[in-house]
Amino acid sequence: MAQVLEFKLPDLGEGLTEAEIVRWLVEVGDVVAIDQPVVEVETAKAMVEVPCPYGGVVTARFGAEGTELPVGAPLITVAVGEPSAGDRAGEEPGAAEGSGNVLVGYGTSAAPARRRRVRPGRPVPVPVSSRQVDGDGGLAEVRSAEALAVGGAVDGPVPVISPLVRRLARQHDLDLRGLTGSGPDGLILRSDVEEALRTAAAPDARAVTTTAPDARLVADPAARPTVEPRSATAHAITAGGIRTPLKGVRGAVADKLARSRREIPDATCWVDADATELMRARAAMNAAGGPKISLLALLARICTAALARFPELNSTVDTEAREVVQLDAVHLGFAAQTDRGLVVPVVRDAQARDAEALTAEFGRLTEAGRAGRLTPGDLTGGTFTLNNYGVFGVDGSTPIINHPEAAMLGVGRIVPKPWVHEGELAVRQVVQLSLTFDHRVCDGGTAGGFLRYVADCVEAPAVLLRTL
């Protein structure tokens, strides 16, 4: 007899607690192999494919595309142990297979096999009743759909997993027992709480803009109308204008920037530099044949050399221990604007890469960002950020530090300007460089020394050769 196993949304790491279903990669009735990707989800950091650790027949899927699920919520159920003829030749019937824990964006053992559609028996979603630790340290019971009371609020523990949901409700004095969750088995999601708060704040606006009852606030699950799922970029037009939910990448960016402003006493210094010689050096390098070298790679090479001289800026602050932690490796982040918003991919061990290797890695990460294929690992762990806002046609900026880093170098556009060169007025290629730094890790002398060294290398690239 086939054994039905349930696969839940795995722990995504890096503090992420929820993900939105973007696209299902399997249908009910498909045969899946161990570690085959079954769903594409979007987290606050990246869009990734989630592999299933079981091999067998998909009997149920939980959540439509556009649905936001908390970590630990059911994704699919798989019937294992009764393979069809020819599908699993040579294996013992009834063996429940699995590859263990799943890391998002990565397989866990075997390569995925080609899917084949079979005609299994009637799919039976498996009800779940488990206990999870909530945000207050207590236990919250996650009850099955059959256990939810029809026509009223659930008696007993509130079906909530995410501590973020509980905290949001506490901050706004919202009683979760009065909500019916839109998640699997009635789980209350953050979007449910946000929707309830919007309803309480603007009931008249919702009456104008909503033509059907909201599925999240209908007490009877069987009486819920069919509602199209809202994507991460959905807009709601109200009497007060257009409202865009702060979720996904936009929400993560908002949280990080707000935290940086709260915690980091930042300061900014800047200087204009003559980049004419740097542009000539790049042109000469690219004229010599071989892979083309990007300007960003040359600036990154200058950054790593400057950080070797001023390592205080490649650090982070441990607020609990009240210590400045100076880091050995330079994991260089670079700001990139994509269709999904601002992302900061990270080049690992940038100090060990030459200009050619840096160009290749910048290109790989940029292409992955445009295609939405950056993994959480590509977007985390940076120690210093290089921000080339000159591509937007601006000269200067005072950027917000990418928490928990200690500094960010900004580069404006390179444009022809009048400049005194060798005692005479000339037209030169001029760029404005700015450094925003955490004043806890160093004083202005260190920050000024770093920026002056960067400017010297931009004006005379031969300066960099003396440090190699």
Residue type present at position 149: A
Residue pLDDT, tens place only, 417-446? 999 999 999 999 999 999 999 999 999 999
What 8-state DSSP symbol labels residue 2? P
Contact 450, 310 (CB under 8 A): yes
Contact 144, 185 (CB under 8 A): yes
The predicted structure's pLDDT at residue 338: 77
383's tokens: 């120690």
CA distance 77 to 6: 4
- Among candidates 381, 388, 434, which has minimal Cα distance to 407? 434
CA distance 26 to 24: 6
Contact 304, 467 (CB under 8 A): no
Residue type present at position 185: D
The predicted structure's pLDDT at residue 113: 40
At residue 347, what are phi and psi to the nearest 5 degrees?
-90, 115
Give the Å distances, CA to CA, from 401 to 158, 377, 432. Answer: 39, 20, 18
The predicted structure's pLDDT at residue 184: 64
Number of Cβ within a 10 Å radius of residue 186: 19
Task: Tell me which residues of the chain have a pLDDT lower than 70.
Answer: 1, 12-16, 44-45, 82-167, 184-185, 202-240, 249, 340, 466-468
> Which is the catalytic residue, given 172, 235, 421, 439?
439
E-assigned strand segments in 81-235: 116-117, 130-133, 139-142
- Among candidates 108, 169, 178, 91, which has minimal Cα distance to 136? 169
CATH number of 266-465: 3.30.559.10
101's tokens: 């824990």
The predicted structure's pLDDT at residue 373: 84
The predicted structure's pLDDT at residue 285: 93
The predicted structure's pLDDT at residue 216: 36
As a whole number of Å, the CA-based R_g of the chain is 27
* Coil/strand/helix, residue 462: helix
Contact 134, 72 (CB under 8 A): no
Average pLDDT, the chain: 77
CA distance 106 to 99: 12
The reply to whether 439 belongs to the active site is yes
> Which is the catalytic residue, given 172, 220, 443, 456?
443
Sign of the torsion angle spanned by Cα atoms 309, 313, 318, 321: positive
Give me the residue spans of the domains in the chain: 3-117, 132-245, 266-465
- Among candidates 165, 170, 6, 153, which has minimal Cα distance to 72? 6
The predicted structure's pLDDT at residue 410: 96
Residue pLDDT, tens place only, 112-131? 344 444 444 444 443 333 33
- Let me know if domain 3-117 sits in CATH 2.40.50.100: yes
- Among candidates 329, 267, 268, 277, which has minimal Cα distance to 455? 277
The predicted structure's pLDDT at residue 15: 57
- Among candidates 49, 38, 46, which has minimal Cα distance to 6? 38
Q: Which residues pair with 431 in a beta bridge?
A: 273
CA distance 435 to 55: 52
Burial class from Cβ neighbours inside 10 Å (0-12, 13-18, 19+) for residue 176 reads buried
The predicted structure's pLDDT at residue 58: 93
Bond before 221 cis per omega within 30 degrees: no
Helix axes 163-171, 190-201, angle to 10 degrees: 20
